Amino acid sequence: MAREIFKVGGLFSLEDKEEIETYLGQIDGVKKVQANLDDKTVTIDYSPSEVQWEWLVETLQSLGHDTSVLS
């Protein structure tokens, strides 16, 4: 199991949080997604053998969020 923490631009509302958690949570290999509105981060626990972290970044960007990896 791996964990990535992403700094996410455009994460302002509860709707943004729910959208991110829903879309990322539907990806095979993603075990847990937690978006934090206070510090504008998304923490994702996932299986690297099932999904690459680059795909997680691409998904966040496709939802309209600028993204950078913190860990």
Contact criterion met (CB below 8 Å) for 41 and 7: yes
- Nearest-CA neighbor of 42 among 63, 30, 60? 60
Cα end-to-end span (Å), the chain: 14
* pTM > 0.75: yes or no: yes
Q: For the segment 12-69, what is each residue's pLDDT rounded down to a tens digit?
A: 999 999 999 999 999 999 999 999 999 999 999 999 999 998 899 999 999 988 888 7
Report domain extents, the chain. Answer: 2-69
Query: Over the range 31-70, which residues count as b (16 or more CB within 10 Å of their CB) and which as e?
Result: eebebeeeebbbebebeeeebeeeebbebbeebebebeee
User: Is 9 a residue whose pLDDT tops 80?
Assistant: yes
CATH class of 2-69: alpha beta
Give the model's confidence band at 11: pLDDT under 50 very low, under 70 low, under 90 confident, else very high. confident
